[in-house]
Amino acid sequence: MPRAGLDAAAVTEAGAALADEIGFAQLSMSLVAERLGVRTPSLYKHVGGLADLARRVCILAVTELGEAVRDATQGRARRDALEGAAQALRGYVKQHPGRYAATVGVRPTGPDDPLAGALERALTPLSAVLLGYRLDPADEIHAVRMLRSMLDGFATLEISDGFQMRTDVDTSFTWMVDFIDRGLRSTAAEAGHGRVVSPQVPPL
């Protein structure tokens, strides 16, 4: 008989927490079962196996990250919103490195895949950050990709102890946010129009 209270969500939460502790690459069904105090076969009543569990952890992480960025940018605009989004992403990666690693290289299998909806909801706050910059709509997807790349790169380097120079990392992070802000302002100014960008972002 399945353990009372054990369901797919509980298994996913346990897997995500374990991934943060030991690293996503080290995650296994047996370790999750041990964490939950059940035998490994019991997990298969709730998830389809390690690949299914990894995908569920990915969806959880994307959802949580989207909510964190949304909460950090509500009521803010331009550089203030940009900094909120940047700090939210950086903070999430530092706090949840394992579950964030689960999101790397995973793509939706189709429009009905729960991951597709989670990704769209996660990208919407990043797109909203760009609203205040009034970019040319043709530049929006490039700006979102740039923003994701720079913030992801900084955060993943930081958690892997990739910054070896003595300069304060927080100072470098602020410098990067300022640099992105100036670049977005300059791009909008060069476009020479004041159109407002839609917060809907196509798949990247």
| Residue 1 domain flag | no
**Any domain includes 185:** yes
Query: Would 107 be classed as within a structural domain?
Result: yes
Dist. CA 153–CA 88, nearest whole Å: 14
Domain that holds residue 71: 61-191
Using CA atoms, how far apart are residues 60 and 41, in angstroms rounded to an integer? 23
Per-residue pLDDT reduced to its tens digit, 7-60 = 999 999 999 999 999 999 999 999 999 999 999 999 999 999 999 999 999 999
How many distinct structural domains can be found in the chain? 1
Q: What is the CATH number of the domain that holds 91?
A: 1.10.357.10
Is residue 14 in some structural domain? no
Q: What is the pLDDT of residues 76-106, one digit of tens each?
A: 999 999 999 999 999 999 999 999 999 988 8
Banded pLDDT at 163 (limits 50, 70, 90): confident
Compute the CA torsion angle 57, 61, 67, 68 (nearest 10 deg).
Answer: 140
Alpha-carbon distances of 61 from 5, 97, 106, 194, rounded to whole Å: 22, 10, 12, 35
Does some domain include residue 138? yes
In a domain, 48, yes or no: no
- Establish if 187 belongs to a structural domain: yes
Position 20 in a domain: no
